[in-house]
Structure 1
Amino acid sequence: MSYVLNHDDLESLLLGACFFGSGGGGTLASARSLLAQFHAGDYYPDAQVRVVSVDEATAGETVMVAYLGSPVAINGAHFPQGPVDAVLAVRERLALENRTLAYLAPPESGALGFLVACLVAARLGLAVIDADGAGRAVPSLPQLTYAAAHINPRPAFLVSQTGLRVELDVQPSQGVNGAHTHQQDVATIIDQMMRPIVSQADFKQFGGLAMWIMAPAELARALPVRGTLGRALRLGRELQAGRLRSPEELVDYLARQCDMRAWLLFPQGTFVAAEVDSRNGFDLGKITIRAGERLCTVLYQNESLLAWDSSRSTPLCMAPDTISYFVEGDGQAVYSNGDLLLPDGTLNPALMQRKVTLLGLQAHPVLRERDGLILDSFMQLINAIGYLGPYVPLTGNAGAAAGSAA
């Protein structure tokens, strides 16, 4: 069933989406900078956003819209001009074919991913679909269900905040959409081509992306991870109201209200250190948490990919399963990796005084398919940061994690 979001709803949405984003999906700081300008006026004709289900999106075409680049670099944006211009390019192309753009789809679950889709929809009079391409945030395009579903990636528009527009037209070697083996190549090639582009001076490490144009008949297979905006909105409201005061209460809430399995991976620790380096549109870094003599290290590439406990020989959790923070005490409870840091890249010292628990959430089954495009793509990234073992499902770690927490 469709529903409407206003400014206050979007603030709740950001909090819930931040938790589900596995440390990424854009920072709350960048999302709030954009949300602060969301009111009816010269830029936004109406300060409301209509959200529809996948089944309701039958009145026209859909396109995925996002910011692509470094979350830290995006922090200074006030209006989503790059994504708006990218969607306008898609709408113009569709008009030449007598087709109508009616809906936007977020790329992933995350504060910025959801908000950008909502703000662009408000600017252009479109609706947003209550689903996304992963149910968590991801570092690169091949990890999204649009790629796994073999949706045609052509054309793909990347636009800077100042209007510099790049169109990528990568032709698969087999067919319009590519054969199973070539769709991975196409999504990977587009992603690898875009990263150096956003590093150019005109882009300043980020740009607006619109790609994967979908007819109504394609949405069912492109968007199997559904209801993700709704669940983020509900969780955000609970967090704002202070009804979830402990990680145990949060785990229980996720089981009861979201039908999601979550585990306390590293409970009752404190943040002790952070490192980050921004390049090629990625924030590459690690966060260190201490609990007694044990250290937990979270490695991330925008999004958290791997969590290690110094007392164990296998990872606590690894992508595509979600790694999220819950910070106890007064103040904000959920953070992205970027939100933990000061502008100079060091850890916010105020957070060192509060207890933090690392939680693991089981990824949607489509992300965990053995030999599937999404899992293979995640494993390539994890191998690149130094882990050369196999994917260890979160369920395989649950008993050991609970034992080390006892």
Structure 2
Amino acid sequence: MSWQLTEQDLPDLARGAAVLGTGGGGDPYVGQLLARQAIREHGPITVLDPDELDDDTLVIPTAQMGAPTVVHEKLPRGSEPVDALRALEKHLGRAADATMPIECGGINSMIPLVVAARTRLPVVDADGMGRAFPELQMETFGVYGVPGSPMAIAGERGETTVIDTGADNKHMEWLARGVTVRLGGVAHIAEYAMTGAQVKRTAVPRTLTLALTIGRAIRQARERNADPIAALAEALSHTLYAHLRVLFRGKISDVERRTEAGFARGRATAQSFDGQHELELRFQNENLVALVDGTVRCVVPDLVCVLESEQAEPITTETLRYGQRVTVVGISTPALMRTPEALAVFGPAAFGLPYTFTPVEEAAVGTTA
């Protein structure tokens, strides 16, 4: 059933998207500001349930691309994702009937809302990652047969280009990353154009609703002085992301972060409050793996989320810093993200990690909480 998204929904949506972003996906606060301005100028946004799409509907997802460390400092004008959409429409010779997120985490939960408000298109309540991932081929769309190209890229000065690599989504990512670096480290894109039938077959459903549910659960728990992490676990238990495990509680002791080849890469460590245990996080834009005392407790594609200990406010990889008191949780992903086909594209080996994927509900047994 379709529904209207208003300005009042944005703070909860941004908070929930930051949780789903697993430390990456770009700053959702910046996205919230862009979406708020677009809604104020153009009115509320219609959100479509994927099951409502006609099979021949043309859906063109829109997004921001770049290193979060750059996005944090290089704010978009706001018109760039519409420029990318229009460039791809022109190349395809057909106008889009709706837009959609490619990922539900971070700023990319918001960019399609900006496009939807500015163009008066509806936005589909679904995405292709069920979280955030750093590379464009890491989409359930591509896993299940939808090519990412042709794709359009737009820069802040009105530049646009179209990349077409056929069914080779990894090569598309490589070329698009190079263009993005030369545009200053951040760009806006339109890609994975598909039919309504393909959306229903390949997308992770209702993830905008999920982000709203997460953000609202955390806020309401704070308002009644309840445990926001317990409230988050309860809210997730009724969704496709049913399992939340507390992996670690402690204080950030070190952060190593660098921006290279269009990504923010690095690691962070934390010490437990009793000084008996150590956490190591490794990230490439997003948190990829959490090790407690050297043992893997959660690894991609499951979500590793760093939350501020008292308020459960999500902390992104570009804002991790020494001394933060954190609770790190692992959250399970839906079944279509754990198939052999999906793990081949965005499981541990896809990031060069020497680990075998084990679901967080099994790997997190015996963690320090």
Q: Residues 199 and 78 (structure 1 numbering): CA distance in 2 closer, same or farther, change over 3 Å?
A: closer
- Asked if 1:294 corresponds to 2:294, the answer is no
Equivalent residue number for residue 214 of structure 1: 194
Whole-angstrom CA distance in 2 between matches of 1:171 and 1:333 = 41
Whole-angstrom CA distance in 1 between matches of 2:111 and 2:343 = 23
Whole-angstrom CA distance in 2 between matches of 1:262 and 1:375 = 24
- Asked if 1:283 corresponds to 2:281, the answer is no
Q: State the shift of 1:297 in Å.
A: 1.2
Counterpart of 2:66 (choices 62, 69, 94) is: 69
Q: Residues 171 and 227 (structure 1 numbering): CA distance in 2 closer, same or farther, change over 3 Å?
A: closer
Give the alignment of 1:277-356 within 5 angstroms: 277-291=258-272, 292-310=275-293, 312=294, 314-329=295-310, 333-340=313-320, 347=321, 352=323, 354=325, 356=326
Counterpart of 2:117 (choices 114, 122, 139) is: 122
Whole-angstrom CA distance in 1 between matches of 2:230 and 2:206 = 24
Root-mean-square deviation over aligned CA pairs = 2.1
- Asked if 1:391 corresponds to 2:341, the answer is no
Further displaced range: 234-243 or 213-222: 234-243
Counterpart of 1:85 (choices 83, 86, 95) is: 83
- The answer to whether the 8 A contact 2:180-2:186 is kept is yes
The Cα offsets for residues 232-277 of structure 1, whole Å up to 9 and x where unpaired, read as: 11221232332553433322332146661111111x3112222211
Further displaced range: 247-256 or 211-220: 247-256
Q: State the shift of 1:100 in Å.
A: 3.5
> Which residue identity lines up with residue 215 of structure 2 in the other structure?
G
- Asked if 1:7 corresponds to 2:7, the answer is yes
Q: State the shift of 1:156 in Å.
A: 0.9
Equivalent residue number for residue 328 of structure 2: 358
Give the aligned length. Answer: 362
Equivalent residue number for residue 25 of structure 1: 25
Equivalent residue number for residue 173 of structure 2: 191
Equivalent residue number for residue 400 of structure 1: 366
The Cα offsets for residues 118-143 of structure 1, whole Å up to 9 and x where unpaired, read as: 11111111111001112111111222
Q: State the shift of 1:32 in Å.
A: 3.9
Whole-angstrom CA distance in 2 between matches of 1:32 and 1:282 = 22
Q: State the shift of 1:278 in Å.
A: 1.2
- Asked if 1:368 corresponds to 2:338, the answer is yes
Counterpart of 2:351 (choices 367, 370, 382) is: 382
The two structures have a TM-score, normalised by structure 2, of 0.91
> Which residue identity lines up with residue 205 of structure 2 in the other structure?
R
Q: Residues 88 and 374 (structure 1 numbering): CA distance in 2 closer, same or farther, change over 3 Å?
A: farther
> Which residue identity lines up with residue 329 of structure 1 in the other structure?
E
- The answer to whether the 8 A contact 1:5-1:49 is kept is yes
SS at match of 1:142: coil
Q: Residues 40 and 143 (structure 1 numbering): CA distance in 2 closer, same or farther, change over 3 Å?
A: same
Equivalent residue number for residue 343 of structure 1: none
Give the alignment of 1:118-267 within 5 angstroms: 118-172=113-167, 186-200=168-182, 203-223=183-203, 225-241=204-220, 242=222, 243=224, 245-256=227-238, 260-266=242-248
Q: Residues 89 and 374 (structure 1 numbering): CA distance in 2 closer, same or farther, change over 3 Å?
A: farther
SS at match of 1:141: coil
Further displaced range: 107-116 or 73-82: 73-82
- The answer to whether the 8 A contact 1:142-1:374 is kept is no
SS at match of 2:200: helix
Whole-angstrom CA distance in 1 between matches of 2:215 and 2:10 = 9
Q: Residues 79 and 321 (structure 1 numbering): CA distance in 2 closer, same or farther, change over 3 Å?
A: same
Q: State the shift of 1:191 in Å.
A: 0.6
Is there any run of 5+ residues in structure 2 with no aligned partner, and where? none
- The answer to whether the 8 A contact 1:30-1:71 is kept is no
> Which residue identity lines up with residue 57 of structure 1 in the other structure?
L
Whole-angstrom CA distance in 2 between matches of 1:118 and 1:194 = 22
Whole-angstrom CA distance in 2 between matches of 1:365 and 1:31 = 29
The Cα offsets for residues 37-76 of structure 1, whole Å up to 9 and x where unpaired, read as: 34534xxxx1311100112222731011111111221233
- Asked if 1:60 corresponds to 2:57, the answer is yes
> Which residue identity lines up with residue 248 of structure 1 in the other structure?
A
The Cα offsets for residues 260-299 of structure 1, whole Å up to 9 and x where unpaired, read as: 1111111x31122222111222111222221023211111
- The answer to whether the 8 A contact 1:57-1:103 is kept is no
> Which residue identity lines up with residue 359 of structure 2 in the other structure?
P
Q: State the shift of 1:82 in Å.
A: 2.3
Equivalent residue number for residue 179 of structure 1: none
